[in-house]
Structure 1
Amino acid sequence: MKTPPTGNVEQPERAALTGSWGSDVVAQMLRGLGIKYVALNPGSSFRGLHDSLVNRLGNSDPQMLLCLHEEHAVAIAHGYAKVAGEPIAVILHSHVGLMHGAMAIFNAWCDRVPMLVLGATGPVDAALRRPWIDWIHTSRDQGALIRNYVKWDDQPASLPAAIESMLRANIIARTEPTGPTYVSLDVSVQEQALDKEPPLPDFNRFNPPLAAEPNPEGVARAAEMLANAKKPVILAGRTSRNTRDWARRVALAERLNAEVLTDIRIGASFPTDHPLHRSKPAFFIDDAAGEVLRSADVILSLDWLDAAGTLQLAGQIDARIIQASLDYQLHNGWGMEYQGLSPLDIHLACSPDRAVHAIADQLGIGDGDAPGDLPVKPAFDAPAPDTPSISPFWRRPSARD
């Protein structure tokens, strides 16, 4: 391999290959879907796709993130989605890699983060399998391993079907309430030699649906209830990191003079140094937060992670409760991660951010002030930037040298 250019150290020298393969189309689909990174631990079941990411795309858009374990790969995608608000892709080797990554997929499901998980199996056609090794890496219904905690899964049997599956998986993963989706690609589809590549779709025509607006009557009732409240409280739950949404959330709290509680189990949703923020973000509410809830007359839950459990811990609650959430759409009969069922006076079936904007509009509240950029704080006891690196212990001089 030639010395890579400065600033582009992970750019491979592409192999001098001719021809086109099914995996080349799959790789181009990832690029067309706007996937910036793909986390993977290499495995033979997706050797075709791995090759195409290197030799067709040049490890760029998406760039590969090499991991040492499938659970690490999924966890990286989980963290990226929480920060960036958009999915990256993960590739898991056959059903064995899928089983390794299953715990992390469940974590992503519980956290409601978008993620495009690709897998591989087969060849599904038994006549194409190599003895032993291909047989132990083939599953008739691989998605069954994780079907209870992904939004959607598929195992397409042809290249055109794979194109449609990836489009659908991307749309569903990004649609609120977001979550992981899974597409298992047959080895024989990946390694299919193509005389002519099928045309790629117009990706602009396969976007997630527009966000649902809350019911106008419900918004009017909620706004009136909050405006007339003496002690309103906002439970700031699973909200977006968009600065416009953040500013409007703070503006609503300030106009209502509402006390705000946050949850350490989810991303930041309200400035904890704000005068209206009460108690501290925690796994379980403390006495101070409980007193805030007990004294409230109206509670606005913005997709709070566990409203029923929180109110139970607080004790006697006499407040009327408004909930803004779409999470009920993901509840199924397998897991209980959806928590208890809270009594509600108004349930706005929309994202919490759409509800905040609608209520703020109803009350004539402005856009608020966008949060400023804060400097990155160095880690505690971090060495100065010009500190010389320390040699590993096995290279340090010793008395025996």
Structure 2
Amino acid sequence: MIVATQPVKATTAATAFLEALKRRGVDYLFGNAGTDFAAIIEAYATHPQPSALPRPITVPHENLAVAMAHGAYLATGNPQAVMVHVNVGTANAICGLINASREQVPLILCAGRNPITETGSLASRNAFIHWAQEMFDQGAMVREVVKWDYELRRADQTDLVVDRAISIATAHPRGPVYLTLPRETFGEPVSVEPARTSPQVAPPAPDENAINIAAKWLAEARRPLIVTGALGREARERQALAAFAGAHSIAVAAHRPRFMPLDIDNASFVGFEPGPLVEEADLIIVASCDVPWIPLHHSPGARTRVIHLAFDPNFSRYPVRGFQADLAIDGDVATAMRLIQAASHAEADVVEERIAWLDTKRTAFRTLRERAVADVELPSYAQVARCLADVSGEGDTILAETAFPTELLALDGGGGYFGAPSSGGLGWALGAALGIKLTAPERRVISLVGDGAYMFGNPTPAHFVSRANQLPTLTIIMNNSMWAAVRRATLSVYPDSETRLNRNAVFTYLEPSPEYEKIVEASGGYGERVEQAKDLPAALRRALHAVEQEGRQAVLNVLVA
């Protein structure tokens, strides 16, 4: 369909590229520049209408740039673009790109392509690096974690290529795409025709026969359970789940959730550990969840039926994934839940048994949440969670990139919680928080990270970006001076290992611990080290005052037991 009616005009491929991104809803271009950016920089400098281009955000590390685009998508639902420097910039972006791929984030990752020619063009090779940076197949670096990749070969292809990139990225299941942009091509003149865009691809409708089977199985189930992971980014998903679970008295558990699927006080919500529930349930509905339980520790009963609902419920980009699936329904999960809800009708005695089981599990979860925090000298994860719950309010956004007692937070299903990607590419939260704050400045954004994740987040570039763009956020570092996940993994395989008692186990401890709170001060932020539990509430108030009243970013370096 026609979306613009401007007359044909002469411009460069770089300008046409930027205009095409903006017309298709890309509001930001997060970039870390190199010698391949010449045409982009000139396009921004000479364009008569800057608002017709995506807003450029300088981000001095590519992993941070991708995380910011990831966060901007979480806040807005709109795809964003990142541009990096040829192969070396792409290499730095890959960790964040893997996160975006597994979390189905429609990201347009662009990279310059080393100049093709040695002579003959103003854009030909003119720097020492232009030989060593060329690759036979630059796209091969990322091909396994993107939906599509392409090298722009002609300037007059620019609008078409951008249109195709965004159409593919936003089609379900969504995901990143990769464009390489040769310096010569990007600087070439091009005549821009009235722009055309491909319509957004409509998602597949759930199969009617499969819906009827699911409805029949649900009608027979006395202990039904829904397990979510990535359900809940959109309000309509949360609303559909609340209505479905409420109408049929279904327990809902969220396993390492990236989004909060329901209010934590919702009568159907039973917590964040589905494993024991999986063993008891007689029907399990896996809703947008790549890992609903850990098979090494838990598995469904012999007579339990398992239904998977998702775009691509096989998660076909995962090489191995063998969870039981008696029925798999491809399509929009909110739609599938509404259809099953309307088609399923259980007998009174079945419903009564469901309600009793749900009440038991809900009571157990409530008891867990109300458990008193131990009075210890050092701050604990639980105490940090309690302190946050005391000061949290409507409009807060919390990002967690550490193993955190989420059940102790006062979370609602309003889109105010984002958990770390299931791929575990560390360094996500700092950038994602900035991307959210950039696109939703009214939100109070708080990141919870381990000391290792903070280092992976490129804190010096992150704090630079925060100051440069006036994006005050609060980062709380849960500093245990170690890779706790590495230690737990070692002990799970070797439970009698001396690592249990050995403080000097290799590759495990991060000592001596840096004074992380000093890093943010270099960018004008507020930093504080918290060593005693009794000091935590006041320190949190001071940090939030810096963010809210002074407009400064803040970091609390909390030494946890």
Q: Secondary structure at the match of 1:178?
A: coil
Which deviations, in whole Å up to 9, do the C-alpha atoms of 1:322-379 show, x marking residues without a partner? 11123357634xx64xx52112111101132232232234349xxxxxxxxx723567
Corresponding residue for 1:310? 294
Residue 388 of structure 1 deviates from its aligned partner by 6.7
Q: Is the 8 A contact 1:162 1:185 kept in 2?
A: no
Equivalent residue letter for 1:342: F
Corresponding residue for 1:145? 141
* Aligned pairs, number: 348
Residue 385 of structure 1 deviates from its aligned partner by 8.2
Q: Secondary structure at the match of 1:120?
A: strand
Corresponding residue for 2:545? 383
Corresponding residue for 2:39? 48
Q: Is the 8 A contact 1:116 1:170 kept in 2?
A: yes
> What is the rounded CA distance, in whole Å, between the counterparts of 2:20 and 2:226 in structure 1?
42
Equivalent residue letter for 1:268: M
Scaled by the length of structure 2, the TM-score of the pair is 0.58
In the alignment, does 2:102 pair up with 1:110? yes
Measured at CA, do residues 388 and 321 of structure 1 come closer, stay the same or move farther in structure 2, by a change above 3 Å? closer
Residue 228 of structure 1 deviates from its aligned partner by 2.3
Measured at CA, do residues 193 and 111 of structure 1 come closer, stay the same or move farther in structure 2, by a change above 3 Å? same
Q: Secondary structure at the match of 1:314?
A: coil
Residue 160 of structure 1 deviates from its aligned partner by 2.6
Corresponding residue for 2:281? 296
Corresponding residue for 1:219? 211
Residue 315 of structure 1 deviates from its aligned partner by 3.9
In the alignment, does 2:62 pair up with 1:62? no
Equivalent residue letter for 2:147: K
Provide structure 1 residue ranges, at least 5 long, that are not aligned to the other structure.
Answer: 1-17, 365-373, 391-401
Measured at CA, do residues 236 and 186 of structure 1 come closer, stay the same or move farther in structure 2, by a change above 3 Å? same
Residue 218 of structure 1 deviates from its aligned partner by 0.2
Equivalent residue letter for 2:195: P
Fraction of identical pairs, as percent: 21
Q: Secondary structure at the match of 1:310?
A: coil
Q: Secondary structure at the match of 1:301?
A: strand
Corresponding residue for 1:178? 174
> What is the rounded CA distance, in whole Å, between the counterparts of 1:258 and 1:212 in structure 2?
26
> What is the rounded CA distance, in whole Å, between the counterparts of 2:547 and 2:65 in structure 1?
30
Which deviations, in whole Å up to 9, do the C-alpha atoms of 1:164-199 show, x marking residues without a partner? 2211110111111111101111111111134xx231
Residue 137 of structure 1 deviates from its aligned partner by 3.6
Residue 61 of structure 1 deviates from its aligned partner by 4.4
Equivalent residue letter for 1:290: G
Q: Is the 8 A contact 1:108 1:179 kept in 2?
A: yes
Scaled by the length of structure 1, the TM-score of the pair is 0.79
Corresponding residue for 2:322? 341
Equivalent residue letter for 1:347: A
Q: Secondary structure at the match of 2:204?
A: coil
> What is the rounded CA distance, in whole Å, between the counterparts of 1:269 and 1:385 in structure 2?
28
Residue 81 of structure 1 deviates from its aligned partner by 1.9
Residue 235 of structure 1 deviates from its aligned partner by 0.8
Provide structure 2 residue ranges, at least 5 long, that are not aligned to the other structure.
Answer: 1-8, 346-392, 397-443, 447-539, 553-561
> What is the rounded CA distance, in whole Å, between the counterparts of 1:385 and 1:198 in structure 2?
45
Residue 45 of structure 1 deviates from its aligned partner by 0.5
1:1-400 matches, within 5 Å, as: 20-56=11-47, 57-58=49-50, 61-127=53-119, 128-130=124-126, 132-194=128-190, 197-203=191-197, 206-279=198-271, 281=272, 285=273, 289-307=274-292, 309-318=293-302, 319-327=304-312, 331-332=316-317, 336=319, 340-363=321-344, 375-377=394-396, 380-381=540-541, 382-383=544-545
> What is the rounded CA distance, in whole Å, between the counterparts of 1:384 and 1:150 in structure 2?
40
Measured at CA, do residues 273 and 22 of structure 1 come closer, stay the same or move farther in structure 2, by a change above 3 Å? same
Q: Secondary structure at the match of 2:179?
A: strand
Q: Secondary structure at the match of 2:294?
A: helix
The Cα RMSD (Å) is 2.6
Corresponding residue for 1:367? none
Q: Is the 8 A contact 1:303 1:327 kept in 2?
A: no
**Runs of 4+ more than 6 Å apart:** none
Measured at CA, do residues 54 and 306 of structure 1 come closer, stay the same or move farther in structure 2, by a change above 3 Å? farther
> What is the rounded CA distance, in whole Å, between the counterparts of 1:386 and 1:256 in structure 2?
43
Q: Secondary structure at the match of 1:27?
A: helix
